[in-house]
Structure 1
Amino acid sequence: MSDNNRDVITGKAIGADEDASERRALREHEHYQSLVEHNPHPIAVHSGGVIVYANRAAIVEIGATSLNDLVGRPITDFMHPDSIREITTKLVSLTTDGDFTDAVEVRMVRFDGSVIDMEIVSVLTKWRGALAYQVIFRDLTATKAAEQAIRHQVALVATVSDAIIATDSAGTVVSWNPAAQSIYGSTAVEAIGCPVAEVLGAPMNLRRRVGKPAESVVHYAKDGTPRMMRLAVSEMDGGYVVVCSDNTAQIEAETKFTSVVNSLQEGVLLISQDGVVESANPAARRMFESEKRRSAGSTAERITIVDLNGIPIPPQNWPSQIVTATHKPVIDAIVGFDRLDGSRVWLSCNGFVLNPNDPDHSSVVISFTDVTESRARAARLEYAADHDMMTDLPNRSYVLRRLTTMLENRAAQHDSGDIDVVMYIDLDKLKNVNDSHGHRAGDRALIAVSRRLRAALPAPHFVGRVGGDEFVAVLIGVDEEDMEDISDDIHLLLLDPIEINGEEFRMRTSVGIVRIRDGEKRTAQDIISDADTAMYQAKLRGGGHTVEHDKAHPSREFTPEAIKLVR
């Protein structure tokens, strides 16, 4: 074989080797790409600063729709400016095929422009014979969120006011937060490694406490100070978490508050939304005779409450229920109830929602003061202001006020058809009794006359003393015959003997009458003045007469024979 043939053959042999090498490299590349393509981790390859390959996971992670969206794009398009310098420095350090960087946290820019935290490892490699870098990504979003949650929990444990203590399965302290140190006085160094019962100053069985509701317990601090705590225990891997809430200050405040409330003379009730008395201070129990009524824990409806007119108040209108329904306070509501001995007690009540932040579920506080005596005193003063002390009849101001009210009611009723009558009554010659027997005798005569007039004018009629020997009677809803009969009765009644110092006297009277009909325009004072004028006309006729202000009605004289008149 010639050298040329050998060269040709050699050349052919060499060409065959090169083709085989390329085919082998291609198969290896395809095999590598197949392996990478199915890798669940995002992997990309960049060469010369340009993306040449990305697996499906990388395409999805970066937010692209296909490989074509990425191939040919500068790798820096997907790197946050803050991370480019650090990544470049890492890549420069790689010199030999197969060298790789440490995992580094960077910020990547997704296809839509959003920024995500990633951890990457870069490997120096070759792509189609050129220098390239294979980049393996790991999304840190979930990890960052978990780390943040852990940091938050650590900060929470460190800053909460409750003592949070972790123990192992044997009850030995392994974690002791700052609140535990503040409450119990032991530092973490002192507490960790000690039995939890020792540092809390109280025996406890953690296993038995797991899952049970929090309970009130007494623990003791390092210096022996008792602490009123709320204890809850939960189980965790390899041990327990003990949560202790310090209620010492609250309980001390409640104790002081209870002492203050119990010392009040003012009654205080706590009433539930359902109207059940939840608690009552001693003053309330005394007022409501709770030992006999057993008010605490019983429905308040067992006691009948009345208004100022003595009419029973339905439970839904009680001060406590008004507060429950409206969430608004009740101020100085006056109610009454009968004690077991039948005496009536009057209370001034105030009420408000105990928890204004949750009024729909809050109990109601009702405080009340016994105003029975003050009301009685006020009633006595009011009665004295409206009545004549000597005769106990209503006085002029009372008569005017009541007559004014009557006129207002008539105006509101319009055409009632009723006739009301005002009689002005004057005792003729009472002065003679005073002159002959003294003023004490005259007073006795006035008292006797007052009693007879009151008896002659039962409700709804009324009579009052408006002057020395002058009276005003108001007849309500009478007709002509009634008016004349009552007038006659008054004359005859007062003519019955009145014994004064062993001597009998018969009192003659002069009476002036005014009728009140529908559409009356006069005031109460005008009407009494008109009746006074009519009475004066009767007196001018010699006394013992009745004169109506309306001149169409003649006067009537009452002078029965055999009657000893006052002279």
Structure 2
Amino acid sequence: MVYESYSFGRGSPATTVEGGMKLDFERVFELAPGGMAIFGSDGRPVVFNQAMVGMLECRHPGAYTRSLEDLMHPEEVAECRERMRRLLSGERDSFLFEGRFVRETGRDFRGVAELTLLRVDTGGSGDSHFVLNLRDNTKKLDAERKLRESAERFRALVDRSSEIVKIVGLEGNIRYASPAMERVLGYPPDEITGRNIFDFLHPDDIPAIREKTEAAVARAAADDTVWNVAEYRMRHADGSWRHIESVGTYLPDHPAVRGVVINARDISERRENERRIRESEEKYRRVVETIEEVIFRTDGRGRWSFLNPAWTKLTGYSPEESIGRKAADFLVRAPGSRVSGPDGDDPPSREVEIETRRGTKRIFEVSFAVEPEGEDFHDSFGILHDVTERKRLEERLERLAMHDPLTDLPNRRLFLDYLRNSTPWGERGYTARESTSLLFLDIDRFKQVNDNLGHEAGDSVLVAVAGRLEGCVRAEDIVARLGGEEFVILMAGAGVREARRAAERVLGVFGRPFSLGADEAQVNLGVSIGIACAASREISPEELLRRADTAMYQVKRRGGGGWSTYNLKAPENESG
């Protein structure tokens, strides 16, 4: 560039720089850190400095083909033309503006620019040029944008957080409160700002908080940052008290704080839940200590690890002498098969028998909440229900269902069960040398005892008959009362001869009179006996009973007082 002189348009009269300053201008132009470019009055490029070449990402530095308008974003070209017009007309000396510019690669950026008109005087005539000073503002704008976004995020976090954020001076005055203050405690932030935080604390909590605060301030004098965790009660706007948990960061020397930044949350619901849990635990503890059932837990080796007081009450063993010992050491009968809970949601349960400290045996039903491994009590948890009395009652009821309540002999139901399971119908099966004999007995003249002496006397006779019958049979024979004055004797494995000998023994015991009670009255009775034998499965148990009954009536028809053996051909000829 060779110029005689340079004139920079800064109003009228123009400021003129003579040629002696040309080299200084060129040096400033080339070495300027910001982008500089000179355009003709028509906007065509004249020269770009190196900073402008780099900023515009020019592919061919020295071949300047882009006009002033080409540098502008399409949306800003019209405004660029207007600026050029006004500079040429002398309305303005310069324009300082922020706009969007386009690099040669097509990427746009935001920059801050100053557009000035330069007049060059040559021999009394002057040409005008535009000088553009441009600074790429992208990084600054990005930094400002990120700062704004960060501030907005922080503001949104603070505004929407469920935790209260407060800045409190060391003297206790509230300098800032986030919107959560109103959501949690009912106070609008502007209403509470400026007030002393101790005015809102529960009186019982103030001494501890003051002590914590003073200790934290003392530590903050030596440390950069001090944290302080506290729990206290704050008064809600409705007058109730809320449990608050807070973390205070002490920043007494920070210019924006000069106090404590407190993050606080409402833990009233948590404290209420904890209170309910404590009450529930206390309630269940009382239940465990007073319940009649034994609650137990065992470890992986089957040793008691917990026993409630019911264990001592029912067994006599104290917890001290039981905990740590194997549960199996106390069992007379180990856990058997399940007795309940195979279906549905009921827990599995089994029965065990435990010998108490007093030497008695008690039966417990074990309900496992956690099923043990194998048959032992390894790693289990459950309840021992004392079912001793229930089992005894069940046994009594079962005996009543199967025995005659007056004589305690098997009744018809139990007798038929014995009969169906005896030879030759039993599980062992039939052998040629085994048979079953049945004696059917009916007491002669028993009705006269009831009619003349009363049913009490009749019951006394029946009890005596039962005793005499049991005394004259083999140990393996079954004596049963079918009802009224009818009795039967089941002789498994006995043939007809042995049955007849038994019938003779029965007749012998009926030869003695029967006593009728305390008045020592006596009565003589007879008995009619029917005998039937089965040596194969060709007849049923019921048929055997019917045959013995038939044989017994043969004796009755003859006047009673004897026995008769059933025979398909001539039963009446086989009697005694």
The reply on whether 1:271 has 2:297 as its aligned counterpart is yes
Give the whole-Å Cα distance in 1 for the aligned partners of 2:67 and 2:414: 113
CA apart distance, 1:465: 0.7
**In the alignment, what sits opposite 1:258?**
285
1:328–1:353: 8 Å Cα contact kept in structure 2?
no
Show CA shifts across 1:92-126 (max 9, x none): 99x98875589xxxxxxxxxxxxxxxxx9832459
> Which position in structure 2 is the counterpart of 1:122?
110
Shift of 1:532: 1.1
**Contact 2:294–2:307, Cα closer than 8 Å, also in 1:** yes
Question: Once the 2 structures are TM-superposed, how far is the Cα of residue 329 of structure 1 from its aligned partner?
Answer: 2.8
Secondary structure, aligned partner of 1:330:
coil
Q: Where does residue 87 of structure 2 map in the other structure?
A: none
- After TM superposition, give the deviation of residue 466 of structure 1 in Å: 1.1
Provide the rounded CA distance (Å) in 2 between the counterparts of 1:345 and 1:371. Answer: 8
C-alpha separation between the residues in 1 aligned to 2:325 and 2:151? Answer: 54
Partner of 2:562: 544
Whether 1:425 aligns to 2:413 is no
Change (3 A) 1:165 1:122: closer
CA distance in 1, matches of 2:212, 2:57: 62
SS in 1 for 2:406: coil
Is 1:384–2:375 an aligned residue pair?
A: no
Change (3 A) 1:192 1:444: closer
Give the unaligned 5+ runs of structure 2.
1-21, 31-36, 38-45, 59-65, 84-92, 101-107, 116-130, 186-194, 217-230, 236-240, 252-259, 372-378
Letter aligned with residue 330 of structure 1? P
Please report how far the alpha carbon of residue 554 of structure 1 lies from its aligned counterpart in structure 2 after TM superposition: 9.1
Shift of the alpha carbon at 1:157?
A: 5.5
Q: 2:211 and 2:534 mapped to 1: Cα distance?
A: 94
Q: Following TM superposition, by how much is the alpha carbon of 1:248 offset from its aligned partner in structure 2, in angstroms?
A: 2.0
**Residues 29 and 166 (structure 1), Cα distance of their counterparts in 2 relative to 1, 3 Å cut:** closer
The answer on 1:472 being equivalent to 2:488 is yes
1:512 corresponding residue in structure 2: 531
> What secondary structure is seen at the aligned counterpart in 1 of 2:328?
helix
Q: CA RMSD in A?
A: 6.8
2:335 aligned to 287, 305, 313, which one? 313
Q: How far apart in 2 are the matches of 1:262 and 1:434?
A: 61
Structure 1 letter corresponding to 2:463: I
For normalisation by structure 2, the TM-score amounts to 0.51
Secondary structure of the residue aligned to 2:410 is coil
Deviations 1:399-418 (A, max 9, x none): 245546x389958x595549
User: What's the CA shift string for 1:214-249, capped at 9, x where partnerless?
Assistant: xxxxx98689xxx9x9x9x99989899999752222
Aligned residue in 1 for 2:314: 287
Residue 275 of structure 2 corresponds to which residue in structure 1?
248
Instruction: Decide which of 134, 157, 163 is 1:158's aligned counterpart.
Output: 163
Asked if 1:488 corresponds to 2:501, the answer is yes
> Partner of 2:411 in structure 1?
395
Q: State the Cα deviation string for residues 174-198 of structure 1 (Å, max 9, x = none).
A: 999989x88xxxx993389999974
Alignment of 1:535 with 2:535, yes or no, is no
Partner SS for 2:551: helix
Amino acid in structure 1 at the alignment position of 2:346: P
Return the letter of the residue paired with 1:25. F
Deviation at 1:153, TM superposition (A): 9.5
The structural deviation recorded for 1:282 is 3.5
Unaligned 5+ residue runs, structure 1? 1-12, 36-45, 53-73, 77-83, 103-119, 208-218, 307-311, 355-361, 559-567
The aligned amino acid for 1:258 is R
Aligned partners of 1:327 and 1:353 also within 8 Å? no
CA contact (8 A) 1:277 1:298 kept: yes
- Look up the equivalent residue of 1:426 and give its one-letter code: L
- Cα-to-partner distance string for 1:457-510 (whole Å, 9 max, x where unaligned): 56764221113332123344x264xx6425423532551464545989796551
Instruction: Specify which structure has the higher proportion of helix.
Output: 1
Query: In structure 2, which of residues 48, 61, 66 is the aligned counterpart of residue 25 of structure 1?
Result: 48
Task: Write the distance in 1 (CA, Å) between the matches of 2:482 and 2:414.
Answer: 9
- Distance, in Å, in 1 between the alignment partners of 2:134 and 2:234 is 69
Query: Which deviations, in whole Å up to 9, do the C-alpha atoms of 1:13-41 show, x marking residues without a partner?
Result: 9xxx9xx9899736444544689xxxxxx
Is the 8 Å Cα contact of residues 513 and 535 (structure 1) preserved in structure 2? no
Is this contact kept in 2: 1:47–1:130, CA < 8 A?
Answer: no
Secondary structure at 1:529 match in 2 = helix
Q: SS at the partner of 2:283?
A: helix
Which of residues 315, 329, 333 in structure 1 aligns to 2:346? 329
**Cα deviations by residue, 1:124-151 (Å, 9 ceiling, x for unpaired):** 4599989998644579999989987996
Q: Please tell me the residue identity of whatever aligns with 2:197.
A: V
Aligned to 1:190: 198
Q: Deviations over 1:398-440 (max 9, x none)?
A: 3245546x389958x5955496636242156354994999577
For the 8 Å contact 1:167–1:196, the answer to whether it is kept is: no
Counterpart residue identity of residue 316, structure 2: E
Shift of 1:250: 1.7
Equivalent position SS for 2:163: helix
Task: Give the paired residue count.
Answer: 434
TM superposition shift of 1:393: 0.9
Q: 1:284 to 1:291 in 2, by over 3 A?
A: closer
Residues in 2 aligned to 1:461 and 1:147: alpha-carbon distance in whole angstroms: 102
How many angstroms apart in 2 are the aligned matches of 1:549 and 1:47? 144
Deviations 1:293-326 (A, max 9, x none): 74456554343274xxxxx325xx6799x89xx9
State the identity as a percent. Answer: 18
Alpha-carbon spacing, 1:376–1:200, altered in 2? closer, same or farther (3 Å): farther
Offset at 1:291? 1.4
Q: Work out the CA distance in 2 between the residues paired with 1:547 and 1:202.
A: 112
Asked if the contact 1:539–1:545 (Cα under 8 Å) also holds between the matched residues in 2, the reply is no
AA at the equivalent of 2:553 = Y
- The TM-score with structure 1 as length reference comes to 0.52
CA apart distance, 1:251: 0.9
Aligned residue for 2:484, secondary structure, equals: coil
CA distance in 1, matches of 2:166, 2:435: 88
Q: Is the 8 A contact 2:472 2:505 kept in 1?
A: no
Contact between 2:299 and 2:305, CA under 8 Å: does it hold in 1?
no
Report the CA distance between 1:353 and its aligned residue: 6.7
CA distance in 1 between counterparts of 2:339 and 2:68 reads 87
CA distance in structure 2 between the aligned counterparts of 1:146 and 1:525, rounded to whole angstroms: 102
Mapped to 1, the partners of 2:564 and 2:69 lie a distance apart of 131
